[in-house]
Each structure stands twice: as C-alpha cells, then as structure tokens.
Amino acid sequence: MFDVRNRRIPAAAGLAAALLLVFQAGAAADPRPTVAQARARLAQLNDKADATVERFNAISEKYKASKKKYERLNQEYAAEQAKVDDLRESVVSAASGMYQYNGLSSVVGIVSDADPDGLLAGLAVAGQVSAGQAQTLTDFDKATKGLRVRRANAKTAYDELGDLLGDVAKEKKKVEKLVGEQEALLRRLNQFNPGNPSSKGVTYDGPASGSARKALQFAYAQVGKPYRYGATGPGAYDCSGFAQASWAAAGVKLPRTTYQQWAWGASRRVSMNALEPGDLIFSNGLGHMGIYAGDGKMVHAPRTGDVVKIVTLSSYGTSRFVGAVRP
C-alpha cells in the first residue's frame, strides 16, 4: 500500500508522481496529474466496471442455466436409454419365439438393426405377430424415437454450453483487467479497503417493518465485508448479489443480476420520491444498485477496494438513480 508517512515530499505531489503512469495519454501535456484527476479516473473505472461486472453476471447465469439444462437432458437420455434397452430385450425375445415357431429366420437379424421402423416393416412382411408382440414393438418404436430426440436436445444444450463458456471467459478477462486497474489506483490513493469477510456488521434500528426489516437486518449485519465481483456471500458480495442475499433472508427470492432484478420488478416499480425501507434502488444503466434503508440512506456493496456500507443518497448522488423496485 502506498504510504505517505515515509515520503519527504508534500503528500499531494508524491501522490501525483505515483499516479503518473496511470495517465499515459495526457502525460506529455500534463506530467503531474492532480489528485482530482486521479479521482476522476477512478470514477470512470468504477462506472465501467459496474456495467462489465453485471454483464459477466448475466452471462454466468445463462451458463449455469445451460449447464443445468444439459445435465437434465443427459439424465432423461440415460433413463430413456435404459427403457429402450429393456424393450429391445423384449423384442429380441419375441422375435426369437417367432423364429422358433414360424421359421422366420430373418427376424433376429431385423431386430438387431438400429432402425425401429425397419424392424416393424420387416416383421409385417415376414408374417403376423400377436397383439402383445405388436404392442411391444410399438412401445419400442416410440421409446427409440424419443431417445433420438432427447439425444439431439442434449447435443444442442452441450453446444450452447460451450459457446457460453467462451463468452464467460471473455467477460471475466475484461472484468479482471478493470479490477486490476481499480485496485492499483486505489492503493496509490491510499484508499484501498480490503474489508473483513468475518465482519459482524452493525444493528439496523431504522423504520422498516415486516419482510423489509428482516432484509435490512441481514444487510446491516454484512457491513464491513468486502466487495468482490460475482460474489453472493457470505464473506463478500457484489451489488446485486448483496441485494439477492439480503432479501433471501426475508424469504423473497430475487433473480441474480441487476438487469434481471429490474425486469423482475416491472410491476413493482416505485418513484424515487416514494421510497420505503427495503426498496431496491438502481443506478442509470443498471450497472449498480443498493437497498433503501430509510431516513435518506441506502446500504450497498459499492465497488472493488471497498466494503458493504451505509451511505446517504445525497452523497452517492440522487441524479444517478433511474428508479426503484419494491420486492
């Protein structure tokens, strides 16, 4: 961490020197960036990181859903395969009986074919079958066709999964680059706060009641824990993961990302002038969000290098909010 106490030059000048490389584009014109310029650059990084993190979260959620779909289809495929195997044994048994009693030497060869339609057609030509045998063959046909459909669906899900894995990797790389820039700049500004994953937080004593109070009691108990992109607790959170976990403590299941939570609340939106404790409040562009705590305050997981904290809406900037949702 950059330590101004051991420097012999004035603090502001030392900080500017340390930040020189961060402002490469303007280095020739202004070789000594000011603290104000450093803070402006940090604000730009924060806004960009917010949007990128939420895109990463959205793609990650799609990846998880695709993986779950693939696993489900694989289970269905395995169950259907077992059913087909059982029916195949029944068909072979029936065909062997027909061979014994009717002299149909070609039947066993037909049964071994992979094409059930060919099997039924062959048996129809070879001779009549009993009602029970016919039903067995019909079931075999249906099960085999179902198996082929499920196998194709599983393959499609698997291909989608591969594409999403690539997308997640690309977004993760972008996020990690931004996080690295944020951390470096915060350390040079001597403002990096690693937080405490074991923090016990503070007690909520605001005006909320019912489910909103439970959500805020949980949220306040997380104060002091670090922000980390993609995190949903219990030792760290990003903004939407924090809101999701807080309301889960009150028995309300929110979607994962800011975009999903905003869409989920389409019929629950409220004006910023009519906020109640527990409302979810969203920034412009939906890159960030927090939970309104009452008395003009919100609790949120802000950004890399910071911790879950309580701030006033005015200090965050009321003009930065696009609206609110009441869970």
Q: Same domain, yes or no, for 34 and 181?
A: yes
Tokens representing residue 304 in the block: 């890399």
**Residue 280 within a domain:** yes
When divided into structural domains, the chain yields a total of 2
Say whether 190 sits in a helix, a strand or coil.
coil
Task: With CA atoms as reference, report the closest residue to 231 among 243, 248, 247.
Answer: 243
Q: Same domain, yes or no, for 180 and 301?
A: no
**Residue 201 within a domain:** no
What is the domain range of residue 28? 1-192
Q: Same domain, yes or no, for 298 and 250?
A: yes
* pTM confidence score: 0.64
Angle between helix 131-188 and 116-126 (nearest 10): 180
CATH of the domain at 222: 3.90.1720.10
Q: Same domain, yes or no, for 168 and 253?
A: no
Q: Same domain, yes or no, for 14 and 95?
A: yes
What confidence tens digit (pLDDT) does each residue in 104-116 have? 454 445 454 445 4
Q: Same domain, yes or no, for 149 and 258?
A: no
DSSP annotation of 283 reads E
**Residue 275 within a domain:** yes
Residue after which a domain boundary falls, among 165, 192, 219: 192
Task: With CA atoms as reference, report the closest residue to 299 among 237, 230, 228.
Answer: 237
Q: CB–CB of 60/166 below 8 Å?
A: no
* Cα distance between residue 291 and residue 242, in whole Å: 9
Contacts of 22 (CB under 8 A, 6+ apart): 33, 38, 41, 184, 185, 188
* Cα distance between residue 212 and residue 326, in whole Å: 9
DSSP annotation of 196 reads -
Q: Same domain, yes or no, for 39 and 165?
A: yes
Q: Same domain, yes or no, for 1 and 68?
A: yes
Higher-pLDDT residue of 269, 49: 269
What confidence tens digit (pLDDT) does each residue in 190-221 have? 889 999 999 999 999 999 999 999 999 999 99
**Residue 198 within a domain:** no
Q: Same domain, yes or no, for 164 and 52?
A: yes
Q: Same domain, yes or no, for 155 and 214?
A: no
What confidence tens digit (pLDDT) does each residue in 224-257 have? 999 998 999 999 999 999 999 999 999 999 999 9
